Amino acid sequence: MTNPSEGTFFLNGKDFANAGNASGSLKKVLEEMGVPPPLIRRASIAAFEAEMNTIIYAVAGIMHYYVTPGTIRVVLQDMGPGIADIDLAMTEGYSTAPDYIRDMGFGSGMGLPNIKKNADSLAINSVVGEGTTLEFVINLDKTA
Amino acid sequence: MTLDEIKDILDAETLSAHCDGNTPVERAYCADLMSDVLCFSFTNSLLITHLTNAQVIRTADVANIKAIVFCQGKKPPRETVVLAEGKKIPMLVTGYSMFDSCGKLYEKGLRGKSESDT
């Protein structure tokens, strides 16, 4: 792999026309760095789920990534409604998404569980009325 | 199975300007919930869906979907086609329903999860 890399993407709430651009750009960065494809897929999926959550629920947010020879670390900070019960939000199938989000194929309550599934570690800190910070890490010494 | 074979089996139309018919597809997955595609699909697989919005392409991109079949004759809007062209994801449209599309491809040997998957 090449040298460590980091970058930031800005996310606008309800900007569905550009939803996925940040994750797609992160995927390209990881490809150019020579990260193994199975790990790129896991990182891209986790980032996309988190990006969609920000765009669906928050006014705005940022996605910051840090890639070192050992890890991919992605942090999303949003200005959103916050999550009152994180354990409940982690339950597969639990969702507060409105119908128009479901019509787009999202909001089925699989986002956070899927981030957890694809990441080696996941941390969520949230304050209701202020926003949420989500951080996940994928270890690069794994091959799948 | 190649995209050309899939096109023949589904009597499908190619929507992509740069579609290599020899592209091999290893597996298939069908869903209208992109959340499910992100959770349960396989890398280098074919996605069969009714959904035609741009999020299908973005989902396919991060999930390493090899190609997309829109069933029931549903053609994607221009923004979806443009996005797919940019990401080099071939798209086909078939008049068959999702059930019939899956059945015809399964009958000809295309599979979803294999026994070797964990």
Q: What's the pLDDT score for residue B19?
A: 82
Tell me: the pLDDT tens digits for B16-67? 887 889 999 989 999 999 999 999 999 999 999 999 999 999 999 999 999 9
Out of B35, B62, B63, closest to residue A108 by CB: B35
Chain CA centroid to CA A137, Å: 11
pLDDT tens digits for chain A (144 residues)?
Answer: 668 899 999 999 999 989 999 999 999 999 999 999 999 999 999 999 999 999 999 999 999 999 999 999 999 999 999 999 999 999 999 999 888 998 888 988 999 999 999 999 999 999 999 999 999 999 998 554
Please report which confidence band the pLDDT of residue B114 belongs to, taking 50, 70 and 90 as the band edges. low
User: Cβ B35–A111 below 8 Å, yes or no?
Assistant: yes
User: Cβ B63–A45 below 8 Å, yes or no?
Assistant: yes
CB neighbour burial string for A106-128, b if at least 16 within 10 angstroms, e if fewer: bbbbbbbbbbbbbbbebebebee
Dig out the tokens for B96 from the structure: 């068959």
| List of residues 6+ apart from B17 with CB closer than 8 A | B85
Question: What kind and span of H or E run contains B106?
Answer: helix B98-107
Measured CA to CA, the distance from residue B98 to residue B87 in angstroms comes to: 24
Q: Which CATH superfamily is domain A5-139 in?
A: Histidine kinase-like ATPase, C-terminal domain (3.30.565.10)
The whole-number average pLDDT for the span B72-83 is 96
| Shortest Cα–Cα distance, A29 to chain B (Å) | 13
Q: Does A110 touch chain B (CB under 8 A)?
A: yes
Q: What's the pLDDT score for residue B117?
A: 59
Q: What's the pLDDT score for residue B44?
A: 92
Residue with tokens 């940022």: A62
Q: What's the pLDDT score for residue A1?
A: 67
Domain segments of chain B as ranges:
3-107
Is the per-residue pLDDT at B91 higher than 80?
yes
Measured CA to CA, the distance from residue A32 to residue A137 in angstroms comes to: 19
- Say what angle helices A37-57 and B54-62 make with each other, to 10 degrees: 140
- Counting every residue written for chain B, the total comes to 118
CATH code of B3-107, in short, is: 3.40.1390.20
User: Cβ B87–A111 below 8 Å, yes or no?
Assistant: no
Q: What's the pLDDT score for residue A108?
A: 87
Strands B91-93, B67-70: pairing kind:
parallel
Q: What's the pLDDT score for residue B115?
A: 58
Q: What DSSP string describes A76-125?
A: EEEES---S-HHHHTSTT-----HHHHHTT--SS-HHHHHHHH-SEEEEE
Of B28, B30, B3, nearest to B91 (Cα)? Answer: B3
Out of A20, A107, A109, closest to residue B58 by CB: A20
User: Cβ B39–A110 below 8 Å, yes or no?
Assistant: yes
Residue with tokens 């670390």: A73
Task: Pick from B26, B30, B35 the residue to mutate for testing the A interface (most A CBs within 10 Å).
Answer: B35
Q: Does A49 touch chain B (CB under 8 A)?
A: yes
Please tell me which residue of chain B has the smallest CA distance to A27. B62
Question: What average pLDDT does chain B have?
Answer: 93
DSSP 3-state assignment of A23? helix
User: Cβ A105–B87 below 8 Å, yes or no?
Assistant: no
% of chain B with per-residue pLDDT over 70 = 96
Measured CA to CA, the distance from residue B30 to residue B40 in angstroms comes to: 10
User: Cβ B43–A44 below 8 Å, yes or no?
Assistant: no
Q: What are phi and psi of A90, to 5 degrees?
A: -80, -5
